[in-house]
Amino acid sequence: MDDHQRCPRFEKAMEILSKRWTALIIFQLLPGPQRFARIENSLQNLSGKVLSDRLKELELEGIVKRDVYPETPVRIEYRLTDKGKALAPLFDSISNWSGEWIQLSQ
């Protein structure tokens, strides 16, 4: 009945991952690098402003890398680092759980 002992690493992970949109952005990038507008259009209701904020946070955390290709017009791609890719099992867990427990109404 005691609390979990709270591991500071775990707390930090939860702090990162439980921010709105963050997990979905990571999930969106799992298949490969994508550009700003692509991510924005893929995630319904995600505003450019918040996407911009989240990508910066994820870059700071070392989860996402921003690649600049000086073509014309410039092309910028966001991709997961190894740290980011290592989150794949998390999404597997969610996928397994939802497959077993989520009922679709209708």
Q: Which residues bind DNA (CB under 7 A)?
A: 19-21, 35-37, 45-50, 52-53, 66, 72-77
| Interstrand relation of 75-80 and 34-35 (parallel, antiparallel or unpaired) | antiparallel
The amino acid that residue 82 corresponds to is D
How many CB atoms lie under 10 A from the CB of residue 66? 14
Q: Give the C-alpha separation, 104 to 87, whole Å.
A: 26
User: Which residue lies nearer to DNA by CB, 11 or 92?
Assistant: 11
**Of these, 68, 70, 73, 101, which contacts a second copy (CB under 8 A)?**
101
Contact 77, 69 (CB under 8 A): yes
Q: Which stretch, 49-57, 65-73, 87-95, contacts a second copy (CB under 8 A)?
A: 87-95
Sheet holding 75-80, edge to edge: 34-35, 75-80, 64-69
Instruction: Indicate whether 45 belongs to the interface with a second copy (CB under 8 A).
Output: no
Task: Please name the helix (run of DSSP H) or strand (run of DSSP E) that holds residue 75, with its range, or none.
Answer: strand 75-80
5-44 mask for a second copy (x: CB under 8 A)? --xxxx-xxx--xxxxxxxx--xx-xxxxx-------x--
Footprint on this chain of a second copy (rule: CB under 8 A)? 1-4, 7-10, 12-14, 17-24, 27-28, 30-34, 42, 83, 86-87, 89-90, 92-102, 104
